[in-house]
Amino acid sequence: MRRRDFLVGLGGSVASSLPAFSQQRSMPVIGYFGVGSPGPFADRMTAFRDGLRRAGFVEGRNVAIEYRWTEEGYNQLPKIATELVDRGVDVIVTGNATVAAKAATSAIPLVCLFGGDPVKSGLVSSLNKPGANLTGVSLFAFSLGAKRFQLLHDLLPNAPLMSVLVNPDQPDPGSRTDISEVIAAAQSVGQKLAVLNVARDEDFEAAFAQVTNQRANGLLVMADPYLNNRRERIIEFVSRHSVPAIYEWRQAAVAGGLMSYGSDINDAFRQLGLYTGQVLNGAKPADLPVMQAVKVELVLNQKTATTLDLTFPLSLLARADEVIE
C-alpha cells in the first residue's frame, strides 16, 4: 500500500481532516507523522488522544490532527516532515521520526518519542532543559536488545543458533549501539548468532529462508517501527516454522508472539498527548523536561509456548508482569 493511502485521520475521512486548514484555521492543528499505518498504531493513537483530552483538547472539537503515514521505510520521512511544515501546523508530533522532524524545522514546536538516549544522539541539550523547539518522551527501545537476548537465552540455554532480525536503515544511532550490545551479549555466553537485515518488504523472504535453512532455534526481533508494523507477518512465519521469538512491545505477545520485553508504549503515547496539549496551551518545548518511561514489562504468552511445546522456566514466570493464558 502506497503512502498516499494513509493521508487520512484515524477518527474520520479525508473530507473531515483536510478542511481544517481552509475552513477552521482558528482551531490549532497538530501534524502527526511516522513510519507505520493506522491499523497497527490504532491503540497508540487512542492513547495519544487520551493524553490530549487530559490536557483539555478533543480532536474535532477544539483541535485538528493531520496524520501522515508511510510504509515505505525511512526515506520518505524528510519529505513528509517538510509537507507538514509547509502546511503551517501548530505543533509536529512523531512516535518514530524524530531525526526527520528536527531536520525539517527549528521554528515549529516538536513533541517526539525518543527510541534511544536523546542527549547521546545529539537531539536535545539535556533531559531537564532540552533546548530549542524539541521535547518529548524517552523510551528504552534501543537499550534493551541485550536484555531481550538474555531472556530468550534463558528460555533456550542450549540453542545452537539464534537469529536476530534488524533494520539496517534505522536512522537513530541508538539502534546501532543496541545491535552491538546484543552481539556482545551473545559472545559472552558463547551463543552463535545470525544477524539478518530487513529494510523493505522484499527482504523478508531471504531473511526467513536463512532462519529455516540454518535451522535457527530462536529469533530476536530488534526494536524498530518498520519491523513492528510487520509483526503479524513475522508472527505468522515463526508460528508456521515453530521458532520461538521475542519482540519489543506487549502488542506482539497479545497478537500471538511468544514473549515481549519493553516499555509501556501506550503510556508513552499518552504522555506525548499530555505534552502536546501543554505546548498548545503555550508551554515552550525548551522548558519541558524530556520524560523518561521507567516502566518496563515482560509479557509471556503461555498459549503460544504450549503450541511450541515449550515450558517457561520458573525464573521467567516469576519475573513476568503478565502471562497470557
**Are 260 and 249 a contacting pair, CB within 8 Å?**
yes
Q: Which residues contact 123 (CB under 8 A, 6 or more apart)?
A: 98, 99, 102, 112, 114, 134
Is the per-residue pLDDT at 19 higher than 60? Answer: no
Over residues 216-238, the pLDDT tens digits come to 999 999 999 889 889 999 999 99
CATH superfamily of 142-262+297-324: Response regulator (3.40.50.2300)
Retrieve residue 30's grid coordinates: 497538530
Nearest CA to 145 out of 208, 220, 81 is that of 220
Please state the rounded mean pLDDT for residues 298-323. 96
Is the per-residue pLDDT at 53 higher than 90? Answer: yes
The architecture CATH gives domain 3-141+264-295: 3-Layer(aba) Sandwich (3.40)
Please state the rounded mean pLDDT for residues 117-138. 91
Strands (E), 245-306: 245-247, 259-263, 291-292, 296-301
Same fold, 3-141+264-295 and 142-262+297-324: yes
pLDDT at 77: 93
Q: Interhelix angle for 265-280 vs 42-54, to 10°?
A: 40
Distance CA 261, CA 165 (A): 15
Q: Interhelix angle for 203-213 vs 231-240, to 10°?
A: 30
pLDDT at 131: 87
pLDDT at 149: 97
The residues spanned by each domain of the chain are 3-141+264-295, 142-262+297-324
Over residues 161-188, the pLDDT tens digits come to 999 999 999 888 788 889 999 999 999 9
Question: Rounded to 5, what percent of the chain is helix, strand, coil?
Answer: 40, 20, 40
CB atoms within 10 A of CB 262: 26
Is the per-residue pLDDT at 84 higher than 70? Answer: yes
Helices and strands of the chain, counted as H and E runs? 14, 13
Distance CA 237, CA 271 (A): 34
Distance CA 87, CA 61 (A): 20
* Higher pLDDT, residue 301 or 228: 301
Looking at residue 56, the DSSP 8-state letter turns out to be: T
Q: Which has the minimum average pLDDT: 19-33, 67-81, 301-315?
A: 19-33
Please, which pLDDT band fits residue 25 given cuts at 50, 70 and 90? Answer: low
Please state the rounded mean pLDDT for residues 205-220. 95
